[in-house]
Structure 1
Amino acid sequence: MKDIIEGFMDLVKERNGHEPEFLQAVEEVAETVIPYIVQHDIYHGKNILLRMVEPERAITFRVCWVDDSGEIQVNRGYRVQMNSAIGPYKGGLRFHPTVNMSILKFLAFEQVFKNSLTTLPMGGGKGGSDFDPKGKSDNEIMRFCHSFMSELFRHIGHNTDVPAGDIGVGAREIGFLFGMYKKLRNEFTGVLTGKGMSWGGSLIRPEATGYGTVYFAESMLGTKDDSFKAKRVVISGSGNVAQYAAEKVIQLGGKVLTLSDSSGYIYDADGIDAEKLAFVMELKNIKRGRISEYVKVYPNATFVSGKTPWEVVCDVALPCATQNELNEDDANTLLSNGCMCVSEGANMPSTKEAVTAFHKAKILFAPGKASNAGGVATSGLEMTQNSLRFNWTRNEVDVKLKEIMANIHDTCIQYGKDDDGYVDYVKGANIAGFVKVADAMLAQGIV
């Protein structure tokens, strides 16, 4: 089996050797899915996984825009349309200086499995630009978004490809992008998700990824007859996902100790309660400040510069910042401090070595493709509401979200439970996501 996996990876590396993040994502899936393929004759000789790692379409384009000083700036735009076997491409747009084809292909590949796990009819895609919204005026961001959409619009549509937001793309950016799409197409359709409530958005969508991450962790804890009640929780990030993960933890009786950004993390031994979280939301969403400003308002807290929060003693860890933020040393520190549950709110935030450490210790560990699927699940619900020209209530969407996350958890157990009773959620998520997409690809032939 090892030789088969290595042979497959050698072929993928030959084609994508300069894309480390993508190779990391593919290898993690191959190690669990290839043994399943070998055991099931239906997939033999079809090269299903090899077809799944090759994007159906990868688009790059130039984005020219004018800054406030009148100077023309040039960025790169991307859209990776990975797989449409079970529905139109679906996945976020990321605006960040680190964006490149490797990162977007890894995100699009993960999205295929994540979307499959939701059971909603959505394929996988991802896109974005190396544009950095930080430090830009609203007018500069508007000009960039309009220019970006003037190229992207010809490749997307409500039955073709439905982008959403991601890092650097929030409600403001979605609004600018949608405005230009509507103008160019002369139609009002649900081509983007994460829209404002007054023009086609869904309640709970901003909260969904963070809420879903906590709901999944809650389900894992439930397998041990446990809950978030009185649990010490460490969260990385301070953006949308981290904020709403913290909010849900607080609602479930947990104690949030940390939040972070690229400058470092804050540690509040008293716990970040609803009032303190409201301050963080205003700081990050409106003032666009740094997390270090928290300690000026709440001096009992401390700010640790240039570090991630995994050294803080906790029961539950929720990495909600970015890929590969939690390495093997961090994992060992968490384990030695008694951490019993890790639920990924970001995409692939744990390195391969960190995941191995978690599995070796047999703690509860949920990969992002399962635990952070709440965001795209609610995007799918937004698409449904757009098609119906109808809006569900906040409670209706939240109930549907919680049900979807519980179903994903149950599916991971179905495919990931080992003989000794330990649940390998990585294996479960990979195989469950693969089966639905693979069966659809087989049914549709070689296309």
Structure 2
Amino acid sequence: MKVMSELENNNKTRANDYVHNVYEQLKKRNMHETEFLQAAREVLDSLRPVFFKHPEYLDEGILERITEPDRVFTFRVTWEDDAGRVRVNRGFRVQFNNSIGPYKGGIRFHPSVNISIMKFLGFEQIFKNALTGMPIGGGKGGSDFDPKGKSDREIMRFVQSFITELSKYIGPDTDVPAGDIGVGKREIGYMFGQYKRLKSKFDAGVLTGKDPEQGGSLGRKEATGYGLVYFVDEMLKGKGDSFAGKKVVVSGSGNVAIYAMEKAIQLGATVIGCSDSSGYIYDPSGIDLEVVKQLKEYSNKRIKDYTMDHPRAVYKEGCIGIWTIPCDIALPCATQNELDEESAKILLENGVTAVAEGANMPSTEEAVHVFHTGGVLFGPGKAANAGGVAVSAMEMSQNSMRLSWTAEEVDEKLKLVMKNIYTSANEAAINYDYPGNLVVGANIAGFLKVADAMVAHGIH
């Protein structure tokens, strides 16, 4: 027994040293990429028990390989605005890992886009995609182009220039981009049209997020928000609870937030707050979702205009204040690092029982620690918001088979995917001695699937 104890202790020390050394090397090589390093640290720390139990992964150099993208493309995007002025933006595509399938991940158009954010999102996508059970690898792309205030023609010209360059690196069996912030079915339509023009063939599976009338999947618009709520529902069921009668606060008011609110309301909850980048609204009688949809999906107005239809609702400037609203369930669906330690403490003091991420990494490390130590059910983004990419993979399947599933068929498949993700993350957390910690569980479950494929494919 003493020999085994010493062996175990040596394995644990070796595992800890390995993780530490890999992360230190990452910091040296990517010292200015704060978002990427934050995402990598969270994943690497949670994988320590894996290397303790499976030292063979150390010998294969899996961490060094999985934290380095297969390739990164940066390119100039030149376009002409309506005034005839030449504009220049920067485009990105990070193809991170294709061990279990073609690279898959959205394209984001936003002024904040840079290489650090692209790598953070692409790295997260590896594990998120693996968790879906679909044969898709991890990637991400985008540009610092801001579509706000641009005409349809300006957006079309920019997108055509963007995809002309990106088309060199993508394909149905190579890399399949989708939409993300600033990229909806309009932008995807422009991309597909230009790609088709360049390639002289109809490769419907090269992009997902298309209009259902043009090869897209029904249910894709709702998928991330619905999937988030299905995941939370599984967390609650694990504690013998449900959405019925719960007060819910959702940050954001884009697709993810709107359809998370819709599904939460369908399951018996009352959504009392939502936000946009300017501020937030609090409606204690329950958010009128149709008004929010009218403002955000059809009119492109600000969330403060909600009070024109509902004068009893309260609007306040500054979106971070939304976390001061007492609620049972909080769903951050806006952007990375929007929920900090102070906000997490306020939510905890006000009685929150469950938090799940509809956006990518919206909670800071300190906030996650507050939730875990406070006994709050916490669903990390790579598990909780995987519904969108799951339905994107379903769109790829439909394109390959020249089929179109009904919205009900897609929704049933989505429910099953989210249930399986929760089960996989929960079981991995238990098996590796972190019961209830779905951050660790999701990271381990996703990692094991990818790592085993990397080992099977040999060193490259």
Band the TM-score falls in, shorter-chain normalisation: over 0.9
Counting only pairs closer than 5 Å after superposition, residues 17-32 of structure 1 correspond to structure 2 as: 17-32=31-46
CA contact (8 A) 2:426 2:435 kept: no
Query: Which residue matches 1:80?
Result: 94
Question: How much does 1:5 deviate?
Answer: 3.3
> Could you tell me which of 292, 295, 301 is aligned with 1:283?
295
Whether 2:59 is the aligned partner of 1:45: answer yes
Query: RMSD value over aligned CA atoms?
Result: 1.2
Q: Deviations over 1:191-228 (max 9, x none)?
A: 11010111101011000000000000000000111100
Question: Would you say how many aligned residue pairs link Structure 1 and Structure 2?
Answer: 444
> Could you tell me which of 437, 440, 445 is aligned with 2:453?
440
> Could you tell me which of 25, 48, 62 is aligned with 1:34?
48
Within 2, Cα distance between the matches of 1:375 and 1:119?
A: 13
Query: Which residue matches 2:5?
Result: none
- What letter corresponds to residue 299 of structure 1 in structure 2? P
Question: How much does 1:297 deviate?
Answer: 1.5
Q: Deviations over 1:223-263 (max 9, x none)?
A: 11110001000000000100000000010010001111110
> Could you tell me which of 378, 389, 401 is aligned with 2:414?
401
Within 1, Cα distance between the matches of 2:221 and 2:41?
A: 31
Q: Deviations over 1:20-42 (max 9, x none)?
A: 00000000000111331132133
Counting only pairs closer than 5 Å after superposition, residues 43-442 of structure 1 correspond to structure 2 as: 43-189=57-203, 190-272=205-287, 276-308=288-320, 309-417=322-430, 422-442=435-455
CA contact (8 A) 2:249 2:325 kept: yes
Within 1, Cα distance between the matches of 2:123 and 2:184?
A: 22
CA contact (8 A) 2:18 2:58 kept: no
- What letter corresponds to residue 145 of structure 2 in structure 1? F
> Per the alignment, do residues 191 and 10 of structure 1 end up closer, same or farther by CA in structure 2, a change over 3 Å counting?
same
> Per the alignment, do residues 390 and 419 of structure 1 end up closer, same or farther by CA in structure 2, a change over 3 Å counting?
closer
Question: How much does 1:45 deviate?
Answer: 1.3
- What letter corresponds to residue 226 of structure 1 in structure 2? D
Within 1, Cα distance between the matches of 2:454 and 2:142?
A: 27
Within 2, Cα distance between the matches of 1:420 and 1:15?
A: 32
How high is the TM-score relative to the length of structure 1?
A: 0.98
CA contact (8 A) 1:418 1:424 kept: no
Within 2, Cα distance between the matches of 1:312 and 1:357?
A: 17
Within 2, Cα distance between the matches of 1:155 and 1:206?
A: 26
Q: Which runs of 5+ in 2 are unaligned?
A: 1-12
Deviates more, 1:261-270 or 1:409-418: 409-418
Within 2, Cα distance between the matches of 1:436 and 1:420?
A: 19
- What letter corresponds to residue 35 of structure 1 in structure 2? P
Within 1, Cα distance between the matches of 2:275 and 2:63?
A: 37
- What letter corresponds to residue 249 of structure 1 in structure 2? A
- What letter corresponds to residue 228 of structure 2 in structure 1? T
Within 2, Cα distance between the matches of 1:422 and 1:433?
A: 17
- What letter corresponds to residue 364 of structure 2 in structure 1? T
Question: How much does 1:186 deviate?
Answer: 1.0
Deviates more, 1:417-426 or 1:2-11: 417-426
CA contact (8 A) 2:22 2:63 kept: no
> Per the alignment, do residues 422 and 338 of structure 1 end up closer, same or farther by CA in structure 2, a change over 3 Å counting?
farther
Question: How much does 1:330 deviate?
Answer: 0.6
Within 1, Cα distance between the matches of 2:177 and 2:80?
A: 24
Within 2, Cα distance between the matches of 1:32 and 1:45?
A: 19
CA contact (8 A) 2:81 2:154 kept: yes
- 1:445 aligned counterpart, secondary structure: coil
Question: How much does 1:4 deviate?
Answer: 4.0
Within 1, Cα distance between the matches of 2:129 and 2:80?
A: 36
Within 2, Cα distance between the matches of 1:398 and 1:147?
A: 35
Deviates more, 1:353-362 or 1:375-384: 353-362
CA contact (8 A) 1:79 1:125 kept: yes
Q: Which runs of 5+ in 1 are unaligned?
A: none
Question: How much does 1:293 deviate?
Answer: 0.9
Question: How much does 1:7 deviate?
Answer: 2.2
Within 2, Cα distance between the matches of 1:20 and 1:421?
A: 27
